[in-house]
Amino acid sequence: MDQDQKKSAAAEAALAYVEVGDVVGVGTGTTVNHFIDFLGQAKGRIDGAVASSEATADRLSGLGIRLLDLNHLADVPLYVDGADEATSAGYLIKGGGGALTREKIVACASRKFVCVMDNSKLVKMLGEFPLPVEVIPMARSLVGRRLVAYGGLPEFREGFESDNGNVVLDVRNLPLSNPHEMEKKINNIPGVVENGIFAERRADILLISGENGVECIETSSSGL
């Protein structure tokens, strides 16, 4: 299988976690786009979806899937999203597409987080993929200096604006042996909206597609 076929296989496997009457939180990215297409074929089974980005909302609505406002929901049973990097413990780096803040909000509001990916995304330790950090524009330089002090090498993502109207710094070289600590540390910098470490809310289930099919790893994450 090529990489796109692997992504499609992992996305299709996530349909097994969609139950009749569910509200499904839906992430953003190329693997998730496959999941959205499969979900469109099963839209009669679900009550609707919560989108993590404007791009995802457009794709969902284009397939006739009902969009729901997270503020009007008491419960989101399932969230399906991809990752830029993942460990077998369910720790993730996300945000390559710039939707990290809304993705983390929906993930934290959901009971079960299923992460779909091809096997190239599975790593022993996070950090090779540059960490996206969403920042209020006026704080870009301040945040950049703090990230350098933490050991990072931030790069401004030119020409990009998040759905929330903010900018993104992509940070290499950060020490991520303790992702919980670094996630909190970065989020304590004034001007940071959110960062792409998913440790406090890691994935509950990893669906990893490779040459021999889709492997399922349950991470024992507690969810809500």
Give residues with Cβ within 8 angstroms of 59, minimum separation 6: 33, 36
Crossing angle of helices 54-62 and 30-41, rounded to 10°: 30
Gap between the Cα atoms of 78 and 167, Å rounded: 29
Q: Which of 12, 85, 103, 183 is catalytic?
A: 103
Q: What are phi and psi of 69, to 5 degrees?
A: -85, 125
Per the annotation, the verdict on 103 as an active-site residue is yes
Asked if residues 63 and 82 have their Cβ atoms less than 8 Å apart, the reply is no
Pairing of strands 167-172, 153-156: antiparallel
In the chain, what's the furthest Cα-to-Cα distance?
A: 51
Give the angle 72-74-78 at the CA atoms, nearest 5°.
105
Asked if residues 78 and 18 have their Cβ atoms less than 8 Å apart, the reply is yes
Catalytic residues: 103
